[in-house]
Each structure stands twice: as C-alpha cells, then as structure tokens.
C-alpha cells in the first residue's frame, strides 16, 4: 500500500498547502474555507483544521514557505545591477499566491520563527542591494526603502492590472529594469 493511499495520509501537510496555493491563486488569500481545502486535497473535511488549527495556521505555513523561496530568489539574483529588484518583481509574478500572503501579516501569525527567519534573510539581501545602489552618495536607509517601495509597488500594480502594460503581453522583467534604471541611474 503506497503512502498516498495509506490511512495516515503521510503527505497531508503538503497536500493541504498545495490546495491552499491553488485556492489563493483562484480566489485570493481569504476566498476559501478549510473545508474547501479538504475537498481539493481529497482528505476528510476536518483534516486541515486537525493539522493546522485554523486558516491563520495554513497561511503561516504559506508565508514561511513563500519567504524561503523569495529569499532564495533574491540571493541568487543579488550582485547583478538591479538584480534584487527585478527578482522581487519576477517572484511576485511567478508566485502570486505566496506574494499575496507574505506582505499581509494580519492574515497569519507574524511571530512564527521560521517565517521570520526567512523574511529577515530576504530583508538582508534588500539592505545590501540598497547599500550598493546608494554608492555612498545617498542615504543607505532611504535608498533601500526607495528601491524596496519601487519594486513592491511595481509588482502590486502589475498584478492588479493597474498598469496598462500588464495587459499587452509586455515583458514585465524588462519594464521593471527600465523603471529601476530611471529611478536609480544608469547601468555603469
């Protein structure tokens, strides 16, 4: 008898998280119930609550996993000019469900240590990136906040369909890079 069919599911956590990602992608971070996740994951209706407690428990796990992926992506991209900024936008577009949860801490338990560790790891990459962009000519802190705000706002507006460009099949990465360059100087 394979694990997948065993009485003890064996992968209930993963199955429920995958169901959550799918549900969030379709209906946003709060447009679903624990019973719907159970249906999607094909487990008993009480299983998600048994394992995660409540919706905030599920979303805490989503946020933690999201920040891990996010920090990895930023670390991989750092060093290149505007690498972190472009990777920030890329992540939001490629992992919309995670992104829509991560920066809304009222949805989950923001004191979760795993989530906080990954979030801080991402924050360190952004700070280093801001330091580099400031080149000693401008306040490091203000530059970091400016670049972070720009990447975050661009990603949010793009996902919301607020930028006319997002409907036209334009290349999000290219536009993000152009916008970063306009604000923070050439690629020299």
Partner DNA sequence: TGTACATCAGTGAACGCGCGTTCACTGATGTAC
Residues lying near a second copy in the complex (CB under 8 A) are found at: 28, 30-31, 103-106, 138-139, 142-143, 145-146, 148-157, 160-163, 165, 175, 178-184
Q: Do residues 126 and 148 touch, judged by C-beta distance below 8 A? A: yes
CA distance 48 to 33: 10
The binder of 145, among a second copy, DNA, none, by C-beta within 5 to 8 A per type, is: a second copy
Q: Which is nearer to a second copy, 32 or 43 (CB)?
A: 32
Work out how close the CB of 19 gets to DNA at its nearest, in angstroms, rounded to a whole number: 12
CA distance 122 to 139: 20
DSSP state of 43: S
Read off the tokens for 73: 């992506």
Q: Do residues 75 and 84 touch, judged by C-beta distance below 8 A? A: no
CA distance 101 to 56: 11
Binding mask 125-154 for DNA (x = CB under 7 A): ------------------------------
DSSP state of 108: S
DSSP state of 49: H
Binding mask 31-60 for DNA (x = CB under 7 A): --xxxx------xxxxx-xxx--xx-----
The binder of 76, among DNA, a second copy, none, by C-beta within 5 to 8 A per type, is: none
Contact residues for DNA, defined by CB under 7 A: 3, 6-10, 12-13, 33-36, 43-47, 49-51, 54-55
């Amino acid at each position: 008898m394979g694990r997948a069919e065993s009485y003890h599911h064996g992968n209930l956590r993963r199955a429920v998280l995958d169901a959550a990602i799918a549900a969030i992608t379709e209906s946003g971070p709060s447009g679903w119930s624990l019973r719907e996740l159970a249906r999607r994951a094909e487990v008993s209706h009480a299983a998600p609550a048994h394992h995660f407690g409540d919706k905030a428990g599920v979303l805490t796990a989503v946020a933690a996993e999201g920040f891990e992926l996010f920090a990895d992506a930023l670390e991989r991209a750092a060093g290149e000019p505007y690498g972190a900024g472009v990777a920030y936008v890329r992540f939001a577009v490629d992992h919309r469900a995670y992104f829509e949860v991560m920066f809304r801490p009222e949805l989950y338990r923001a004191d979760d240590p795993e989530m906080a560790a990954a979030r801080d790891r991402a924050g360190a990459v952004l700070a280093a990136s801001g330091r580099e962009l400031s080149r000693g000519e401008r306040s490091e802190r203000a530059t970091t906040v400016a670049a972070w705000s720009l990447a975050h706002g661009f990603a949010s507006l793009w996902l919301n369909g607020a930028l006319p460009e997002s409907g036209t099949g334009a290349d999000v990465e290219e536009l993000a890079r152009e916008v970063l360059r306009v604000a923070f100087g050439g690629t020299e």
